[in-house]
Amino acid sequence: MRKQEILTPYERVLIARKIGRNGIMDYISALFDDFLELHGDRLFRDDPAIIGGIATFHGTPVTVVGHRKGKNTEENIACNFGMASPEGYRKAVRLMEQAEKFSRPVITFIDTPGAYPGTEAEANGQSNAIAESIAFMSRLKVPTIAVVTGEGSSGGALAIAVADSVWMLENAVYSILSPEGFASIMWKDAKRAEEAAAIMKLTAGELKELGLVDGVIPEGKNCIKYMDRVLSAELTRLGRMSKNALVSSRYEKFRTIDQGKK
């Protein structure tokens, strides 16, 4: 493989999608203690594509939520390749609401090709569930940190990424849709995905330069240590802010992005 700094955007897309790449369970195991998974949306069922629960981070109680893809074909199928249904996003909101009640910071991990687009998901209110999750995160009165660890595509990613601090792994990607989808819409040819990726500005470095993410976490043997330091520093910084200041600052952060400013 060529050196990381000269990888093309589409090569990073392929790395982000690579089967066996570290997923949320690896990060939970390496970064948190006493993780207790909580299940279900209290309305319909438990969606395995979204995992969440309570843990401690250096002794501080936190709520952890994220997409779960699995690391082999069997796990991929069981977790629907990280494509959550409405129940998954409703579970995420339930856990974040609980976190706010008990003043626990929320840490999310994003890795999804998008929300599940199936007929059943749409019939059960997929778009509404995503919108409600985005709206709820925007007004949470506890510190929130999001880390894009692999694919971060479409509203399925944004639903749990409206955070005070947003970071990406260096080979993660974050965009409105996949390069294949972009190419299909723009040129009616999904085979031009590599060309699409080159103009979509979806890599961590590009998004950091544009001001859409707050920082980039290097990958490799020190990735976990670096992520640990980032989470520690951001939780300390955000923990000094009042509840109202958190909401106001988050609002201004995303309004600034909307206006195209850095």
**pLDDT (tens digit, 9 = 90+) per residue, 100-129?**
999 999 999 999 999 999 999 998 999 999
pLDDT at site 19? 87
Query: Residue 7 corresponds to which tokens in the numbers above?
Result: 């990888």
Cα distances from 102 to residues 54, 61, 140, in angstroms, run: 11, 9, 12
Spatial separation of the C-alpha atoms in residues 239 and 246, rounded to whole Å: 9
The Cα–Cα gap between 56 and 32 comes to 6
Who's near 177: CB < 8 A, 6+ residues apart?
114, 153, 154, 185
pLDDT at 2: 42
pLDDT tens profile 204-257: 999 999 999 999 999 999 999 999 999 999 999 999 999 999 999 999 999 887
Q: Is the pLDDT of residue 176 over 90?
A: yes
Residue corresponding to tokens 């069981």: 78
Task: Tell me what pLDDT residue 71 has.
Answer: 87
* Average pLDDT value over all residues in the chain: 93
Q: For residue range 136-171, list pLDDT tens digits in order.
A: 999 999 999 999 999 999 999 999 999 999 999 999
64: confidence class by pLDDT, cuts 50, 70, 90? very high
pLDDT at 262: 43
Kindly tell me if the per-residue pLDDT of 133 is higher than 70.
yes
62 close to 36: Cβ distance less than 8 angstroms: no
Structure token digits, residue 18: 């690579």
Q: How far is CA 224 from CA 27, 29, 145, 220, 258, in A?
A: 8, 11, 16, 9, 31
**Residue 1 pLDDT class (50, 70, 90 cuts):** very low
- pLDDT value of residue 4: 46
Strand, helix or coil for residue 239: helix
pLDDT mean over 59-73: 95
- Rounded to the nearest 10 degrees, the angle between the axes of helix 223-239 and helix 24-31 is 70
pLDDT for position 20: 85
Q: Give the percent of the chain with pLDDT over 90.
A: 89
> Which neighbouring-strand residues pair with 51?
66
Q: Taking 90 as the threshold, does the pLDDT of residue 189 lie above it?
A: yes
Q: Which two tokens stand for residue 85?
A: 């249904």
Q: Give the Cβ contact number of residue 247 at 10 Å.
A: 17
Q: Where are the domains of the chain?
A: 4-258
Within 83-222, residue ranges assigned H as helices are 86-101, 119-123, 126-138, 154-158, 179-187, 193-200, 204-210
Fold for domain 4-258? Answer: 2-enoyl-CoA Hydratase; Chain A, domain 1 (3.90.226)
Tell me which DSSP letter residue 5 carries: G
